Amino acid sequence: MQKTTARDARDIKVLIVGAGPAGLACAIRLKRKLNAASRDDPVVVIDKAAKLGYHNLSGAVFETACLDELVPGWREEESSILKQMTRIERDELYYLTTRRAIRFPSFLVPEPMRHKGDYSVSVSRLVAWLGAIAEKEGVEVYPGFAASSLLMDSGQVRGVKLADLGLKPDGKPKTNFSAGETIFAPVTVLSDGSRGVLSRQFTETFSNAGNPQVYSIGVKQVVQLPHGNAFGDDRAVHTLGFPLKSDVFGGGFLYSMGNDLVAVGLILGLDWKYKDLNPQGELEILKSHPFIASLLDGGRVLSTGVKTIPEGGLYSLPQLFHNGAVLIGDAAGFVNMEKIKGLHNAVRSGIAAADAVFEAVLGDDFSKRTLQQYSRNLAANHVLKEMRRARNFRQVFRWGVYLGAPLSRVQRSIPFKMKIEKDFACTRRDFELNRSYDAGMMDKATFTSLSGTIHREDEPSHIRIKEPGLCRKCIDQFGVPPCVHLCPGQVYRLKDGEILLSPSNCMHDGSCAVKCPHQNISWNVPEGGEGPRYRQM
């Protein structure tokens, strides 16, 4: 029996799925325009995280100019996020050999890779701040609700269905079972991030992208340094080389976060060949490098996290709109790998979508014909221009760093679309790293724990092995399957010739599904409010 209260909530006009920088930017921009036009159409944002920011992770060095467009005067606000940002004054790029660090002279660092004057920021905090602004504008923001499927009929997106709640591991209902609610809206904005479940459903249904999307995995820690540390509070350090082989795309970073905190992380292209590559372990090896170790001396790891980064670029962008839906942020893939930045494009894509949706609301027409204005807005506000400039950047690194790095300088002049292989197809069974880890290095269990991830233990696994026979085949091929090495959460374990799952360790990065050699992993959302708890990632 569902009792009703005196005032029933009004029908939703715009539903935004995913409260990240893109989704919240879209909500803020749209609500402001609606308010200015004296319209009170309900704009609703939902997110699967328990609180705003908990599922948001980035490096992050941030080009803040996009916020001037979104929230004019934001720098002067009393509770401005600027107070939680750190301006980068010292920007350093190093090449690491096994023992040494060689600094690139500044003049050799390509312009897009320069970060001086940008700000380092915790995107978890940025999101919490954007959420507060959105609510102040009158946006309804509901964290803790996980959308598990897109409602579609006759070529039209109608809304979403939330995950079922209160199921036992065998799928039978418990006493508190509650069937997933449906939420209808004339237009749904998909901002559910990299590997987002709904945006993938959308793309699989409507898209015919040129290149497949390819990804990197980023593993990150926030380290508390002693007061008066040598690292300083205005510095961004990027590294190439150690511990990565030249045929692995990626690099390390260390950013000042203020209050003696440093973000340290490693980004690795998931197109690596090595069957036993363990990104969490690689980060530990990076941290053991004499130069990095000296920068982090006396530090204590406070929190950890992991995410995938869609880095295929322009040629991997899927269909961005359809009847009743638009795709923004990482869900679309607006990361500029040349700059190693995506936040500013996420915000700008949210703005571009909001402007198109606003016109759709005014005209009460949510067809793709109206929503295609979104594409034009993206072209106008530099997102696509920037993406075009970096269009073949990622592709050239398929040939390794030594060839890729010089080619990346001229990739803009490559007149055609360079093809790219899916990440999983790159793994080779005869490529092995055979790493050993020192006793002092952080293990996966601790890494998982510090992400704060939490799931109800007795719920059905949100990770499904499609065909167990394929896992056995994978074991025959690789010995230990790549998922076991890859997953920082130890979600996958090999025991007696079978893959065992620990879904409650999952940090929702989705890299396992990207890299599975047989594409045998299906990742759906668990109950709302679960997963990692990033407070300062």
Q: Which residues bind another protein (CB under 8 A)?
A: 1, 3-9, 44, 46, 50-51, 140, 142, 144-145, 162, 165-166, 174-176, 178, 181, 183, 224, 300, 302-303, 439, 443, 445-446, 448-450, 452, 454-455, 457-458, 495, 500, 502, 504, 533, 535
Closer to another protein by Cβ: residue 5 or 154: 5
Q: Name the residue among 484, 451, 474 with its Cα closest to residue 278.
A: 484
CB 135, min distance to another protein, A: 10
Shortest reach from residue 227's CB to another protein, in Å: 13
With helix as H, strand as E and coil as C, how does 385-439 read?
Answer: HHHHHCCCHHHHHHHCHHHHHHHHHHHHHCCCCCCCCCHHHHCECCCCCCCCCCC
Alpha carbon distance 537, 526 (integer Å):
21
Q: CB–CB of 275/485 below 8 Å? A: yes
CB-CB contact of 53 with 124 (8 Å): yes
If the CB atoms of residues 99 and 495 are measured against another protein, the closer one turns out to be 495
CB neighbours of residue 261 within 10 Å: 21
Which residues, in sequence order, are CB contacts of 496 under 8 Å at separation 6+? none
Residue 300 near residue 223, CB atoms below 8 Å:
yes
Buried/exposed 173-185: b ≥16 CB within 10 Å, e otherwise: eeeeeeebeebeb
Cα–Cα distance, 348 to 128 (Å, whole number):
18
Least distance to another protein from the beta carbon of 127, Å?
A: 15
Least gap, CB of 437 to another protein (angstroms): 13
- Closest separation between CB of residue 451 and another protein, Å? 11
| Dist. CA 396–CA 49, nearest whole Å | 36
Comparison of 9 and 36: residue with beta carbon closer to another protein: 9
**Least distance CB 145 / another protein (angstroms):** 5
Q: Which amino acid is at 260?
A: D
Q: How far apart are CA 320 and CA 335, in angstroms?
A: 15
Which one, 144 or 400, has the nearer CB to another protein? 144
Alpha-helical runs (H) found in 217-364:
279-288, 290-295, 343-363
Helix or strand holding residue 218 (H, E): strand 215-224
Q: Least Å distance between CB 70 and another protein?
A: 24
Specify which residues 238 forms β-bridges with: 93, 253
Q: Which CB atom, from 89 or from 458, has the smaller least distance to another protein?
A: 458
Contact (Cβ atoms closer than 8 angstroms) between residue 20 and residue 329: yes
CA separation, residue 504 to residues 127, 144, 449, 455, 510 (Å): 25, 17, 11, 5, 14
Cα–Cα distance, 203 to 310 (Å, whole number) = 14
**Least distance in Å: CB of 66 to another protein?**
28
Among residues 310, 324, 19, which one has the least CA distance to residue 150?
A: 324
Decide whether 3 or 99 has the Cβ nearer to another protein.
Answer: 3
Residue 1 or 36: the one with the smaller Cβ distance to another protein is: 1
What minimum distance in Å lies between the beta carbon of 274 and another protein? 26
Tell the smallest beta-carbon distance from residue 434 to another protein (Å).
22
Alpha helices per DSSP H over 15-81: 21-36, 65-70
Residue number with CB closer to another protein (375 or 502) = 502
Q: 10 Å Cβ neighbour count for 9?
A: 9
Cβ distance to another protein smaller for residue 175 or 434: 175
Identity of the residue, 9 or 108, whose beta carbon is nearer to another protein in the bound complex? 9
Closer CB to another protein, 261 or 420, in the complex: 261
Minimum separation from the CB atom of position 207 to another protein (A): 28
Min dist. Cβ of residue 23 to another protein (A): 16
Give the residue with the Cβ less far from another protein, 99 or 300. Answer: 300
